[in-house]
């Protein structure tokens, strides 16, 4: 089965049923004026010359909720640059547990290290918050990095930012309370999605912080009673992000500082 040039194998979905699937819209970056860029932090950080290296190859795709972009040990064929929505990087353990180790949103790119090195995925990647992204072949991203040292440096910084998030998440899940971890994760999801309103089930929140679902339910209820969040049937709104930051562990500020250092100073032209 094929969807707008993508096979089920391209998005790592079974042939039977093949849902959810990725839909590629008619509008792509090849039809945009060269000065126009999709709203993504990595693309915004590129110089005009570097952006032109990949602009003709960018396609606009829908990221549907729970869409599997790649499974561990599979070859990543496409890189994704969200305009909105959030991609979750997941580690799967032998007993069936699935734990989120990082998120990628509108400020970065999924596939940086696959383009710079080995294209075999070290973790699974699933759409956590639905949205829209630019996509291009990992080989096209690799070609651009080979042609331009400044493109390669920008791609490396974005890869390092995600790596820093993974390292901090490991330490956080091992050392901090469920409440502080959940507060940290909700704030990060808000930042990556660019919205105070999110759709997150208790199961997905448990996966995000490596905790049991009943623990997440208790903590979410505590945060709601404190009027920090409003949560009902998966619909979650951050009522008081400033107070939620005080409930979060140090890891939220640490990861944010890494991102600011690696990405923000170079996003202006």
CA–CA gap between residue 244 and residue 187 (Å, rounded):
8
Between 195 and 32, where is the model more confident?
195
Q: What is the tens place of the pLDDT at every residue in 65-79?
A: 999 999 999 999 999
**Which fold, 7-172?**
Jelly Rolls (2.60.120)
pLDDT of residue 110: 97
> CB neighbours (10 Å) of residue 32?
15
pLDDT at 48 over 90: yes
DSSP for 160-182?
A: HHHHHHHHHHHHHHHHS-HHHHH
pLDDT of residue 36: 78
* Least confident span in 9-13, 45-49, 76-80, 176-180: 9-13
7-172 and 177-248 share one fold: no
What ranges do the domains of the chain cover? 7-172, 177-248
| Average per-residue pLDDT for the chain | 87
pLDDT of residue 7: 37
The pTM (predicted TM-score) of the whole model is 0.85
pLDDT at 22 over 80: no
Look at residues 117, 183, 148, 158 and name the one whose alpha carbon lies nearest to residue 50.
148
Q: What is the tens place of the pLDDT at every residue in 171-216?
A: 999 999 999 999 999 999 999 999 999 999 999 999 999 899 999 9
> CB neighbours (10 Å) of residue 147?
12
Mean pLDDT of 234-238: 94
State whether residue 26 is helix, strand or coil. Answer: strand
In terms of CATH architecture, what is 177-248? Answer: Orthogonal Bundle (1.10)
């Amino acid at each position: 089965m094929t969807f707008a040039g993508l096979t089920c194998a391209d998005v790592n979905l079974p042939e039977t049923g093949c849902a959810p699937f990725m839909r590629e819209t008619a509008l792509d970056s090849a039809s945009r004026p060269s000065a126009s860029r999709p709203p993504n932090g990595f693309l915004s950080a590129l110089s005009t010359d570097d952006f032109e290296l990949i602009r003709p190859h960018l396609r606009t795709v829908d990221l549907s909720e729970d869409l599997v972009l790649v499974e561990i040990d599979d070859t990543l064929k496409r890189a994704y640059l969200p305009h909105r929505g959030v991609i979750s990087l997941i580690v799967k353990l032998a007993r069936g547990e699935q734990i989120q180790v990082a998120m990628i949103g509108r400020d970065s790119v999924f596939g940086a290290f696959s383009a710079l090195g080995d294209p075999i995925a070290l973790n699974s990647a699933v759409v956590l918050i639905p949205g829209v992204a630019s996509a291009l072949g990992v080989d096209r991203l690799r070609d651009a990095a080979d042609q331009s040292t400044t493109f390669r440096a920008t791609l490396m910084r974005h890869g390092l930012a995600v790596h820093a998030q993974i390292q901090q998440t490991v330490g956080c899940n091992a050392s901090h309370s469920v409440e502080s971890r959940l507060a940290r994760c909700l704030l990060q999801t808000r930042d990556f999605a660019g919205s105070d309103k999110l759709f997150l089930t208790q199961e997905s929140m448990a996966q995000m912080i490596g905790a049991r679902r009943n623990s997440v339910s208790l903590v979410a209820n505590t945060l709601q009673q404190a009027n920090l969040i409003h949560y009902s049937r998966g619909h979650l709104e951050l009522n008081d992000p400033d107070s939620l930051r005080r409930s979060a562990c140090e890891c939220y500020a640490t990861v944010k500082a890494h991102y600011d250092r690696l990405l923000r100073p170079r996003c202006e032209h």
